[in-house]
Amino acid sequence: MLRKLLTQPSSRRLLSSGIPPLFSKSSLSPFSSLSSSPEPPSSESTTVEHPGTTISVDRSSLYTPPEHSHESTPETELVKHLKNIIKFRDGPISVAEYMEEVLTNPKAGFYMNRDVFGAQGDFITSPEVSQMFGEMIGVWTVCLWEQMGRPERVNLVELGPGRGTLMADLLRGTSKFKNFTESLHIHLVECSPALQKLQHQNLKCTDESSLEKKAISSLAGTPVHWHATLEEVPSGVPTIIIAHEFYDALPVHQFQTQSLQKSSRGWCEKMVDVGEDSQFRFVLSPQPTPAALYLMKRCTWATPEEREKLEHVEISPKSMDLTQEMAKRIGSDGGGALIIDYGMNAIISDSLQAIRKHKFVNILDDPGSADLSAYVDFPSIKHSAEEASENVSVHGPMTQSQFLGSLGINFRVDALLQNCNDEQAESLRAGYWQLVGDGEAPFWEGPHEQTPIGMGTRYLAMTIVNKNQGIPAPFQ
């Protein structure tokens, strides 16, 4: 079955030739807190060190924004809304609350009213780089379904499906396996009406019941449902969950301390306030907030020695809550979850970043016009899943390069190259290297220099599965 999946001819148009000068969200490095603008890079390469881990980011082609502008500009509805919240509270709001409003405010949130992906958007993701990414996720899904005992009905859930590109390529790639596709009920967790419309279009859906937000995808004759949250997805059915670049957009709380303050003040929370000049600014809480006292106690996956070395810590309680909801479902109903995102196998220090039109921008400038995202703390995901259910096991993380390589992306690219012209072949090779760049697996030989930003080691893959199903591919 695996060979059949990898060698079948392409069923989606190949990407256009060449690589546009884009980069993924993960290529942007963190900047220091309590500063109104990112620190300019001192060289073409920046190294960020964390306990036990070092990540290097090539910044040679990245744009460094100007200093935070204090010129008066017309205030948007979202800016007025944020200022009203701060005024009503009579004090600053947490970074997590600011982030949530900026991204998902129903009227003016970044994701809510437009297409933000691809060359004409603000950033590019792996499914938009090459059809092979979605096809490899399809391979993983079919393998897991086999391990689950080929159930006759499966809820296939994608969190934050973007344009629907990944799911469309997954369905095309697995369409010949009728027993698998006929078992699927697709559930897309998406809060953006604009992106729901794009997903409906790209999955070639025909409406069955607009009142229930249900349609049929003509790609595989599969029912498709839309939901605002995972909790709305029906339970009691074996479930496969895909979370690709979803966790990075979940709100984070930021905490800061200085060595002289550790004994007297402890961890203080970084907040967003309005200054005397009516501009947003970062401030530190004068004393530990309830969030700091509660979340730092929950941060048990990091050793005291690790925390002692840090002056900044990011924690995402929504990520922990989501993971626990996933683990409980998988533990009781069977199935598994695949999480792919940029992050670290270590506690996260200070990584929040903003991207607009493929460039760095200041986090506090023109909120709602830029994406906000943060590195994913994979140890916290593992800890949260194991805490929620004793019936699940967690495997990984491994690099995206290892994950795709072990599933056979090198065989897939060879098969596709047999059926394309020179221009398409160049695009295929470029997309391949962008997905697995700096990979550790023995991949097909190709021109490394064609990849502007490699995602292979910056992105990590982790899976949560029901213990009764054994260890899923390729984590054995």
- Whole-Å CA distances, 45 to 59, 62, 345, 415: 5, 10, 21, 36
Are residues 375 and 344 in contact, defined by beta-carbon separation less than 8 angstroms? yes
Inter-helix orientation angle 409-417/400-407, to 10°: 60
Please report the pLDDT score of residue 304 as a whole number.
74
Indicate the residue type of 350.
Answer: D
Query: Any bridge partners for residue 328, and if so which?
Result: none
Please report the pLDDT score of residue 211 as a whole number.
44
Return all residues near 125 (Cβ < 8 A) that are at least 6 apart: 24, 25, 117, 162, 244, 245
Report the 10 Å Cβ neighbour count for 281.
17
Return all residues near 223 (Cβ < 8 A) that are at least 6 apart: 184, 185, 186, 208, 214, 215, 216, 217
Rounded Cα gap, residues 409 and 401, in angstroms: 10
Please report the pLDDT score of residue 443 as a whole number.
41
Please report the pLDDT score of residue 448 as a whole number.
44
> Considering the entire predicted model, what is its pTM?
0.83
Report the 10 Å Cβ neighbour count for 212.
9
Please report the pLDDT score of residue 446 as a whole number.
46
Rounded-to-10 torsion of CA 411, 132, 415, 218: 130
Please report the pLDDT score of residue 113 as a whole number.
78
SS (H, E, C) the chain: CHHHHHHCCCCCCCCCCCCCCCCCHHHCCCCCCCCCCCCCCCCCEEEEEECCEEEEEECCCCCCCCCCCCCCCCCCHHHHHHHHHHHHHCCCEEHHHHHHHHHHCCCCCCCCCCCCECCCCCECCHHHHCHHHHHHHHHHHHHHHHHCCCCCCEEEEEECCCCCHHHHHHHHHHCCCHHHHHHEEEEEECCCHHHHHHHHHHCCEEEEECCCCEEEECCCCEEEEEECCHHHCCCCCCEEEEEECCHHHCCCEEEECCCCCCCCCCCEEEEEEECCCCCEEEEECCCCCHHHHHHHHHCCCCCHHHHHHCCEEEECHHHHHHHHHHHHHHHHHCEEEEEEEEEECCCCCCCCEEEECCEECCCCCCCCCCEEECCEEHHHHHHHHHHHCCCEEEEEEEEHHHHHHHHCHHHHHHHHHCCCCHHHHHHHHHHHHHHHCCCCCCCCCCCHHHCCCCCCCCEEEEEEEEHHHCCCCCCC
Rounded Cα gap, residues 440 and 437, in angstroms: 9
Rounded Cα gap, residues 263 and 257, in angstroms: 10
Rounded Cα gap, residues 107 and 53, in angstroms: 40
**Comparing C-alpha atoms, which of 330, 435, 338 is closest to residue 19?**
435
Q: Which residue has the tokens 């884009």?
A: 22
- pLDDT tens for the chain, 476 residues long, are 665 666 666 555 444 333 333 334 544 333 333 543 344 333 344 444 444 444 444 433 333 444 454 455 678 999 999 999 999 999 999 999 999 999 999 998 888 877 666 555 555 788 888 999 999 999 999 999 999 999 999 999 999 999 899 999 999 999 999 999 999 999 999 999 889 999 999 999 987 655 456 788 888 889 999 999 999 999 999 999 999 999 999 999 999 875 544 445 478 899 999 999 999 999 999 888 888 888 887 787 877 777 777 888 999 999 999 999 999 999 999 999 999 999 999 989 889 999 887 687 899 999 988 989 999 999 999 999 999 999 999 999 999 999 999 999 999 999 888 988 888 888 888 888 889 887 443 344 444 444 345 788 889 999 999 999 999 999 98
Please report the pLDDT score of residue 310 as a whole number.
81
Nearest 5°: phi and psi at 52?
A: 80, 0
Per-residue burial over 38-49, b = 16 or more CB atoms within 10 Å of its CB, e = otherwise:
beebeeeebebe
Identify the structural domains of the chain with CATH numbers, from first to last: 2-22+125-245+319-352+374-469 (3.40.50.150)
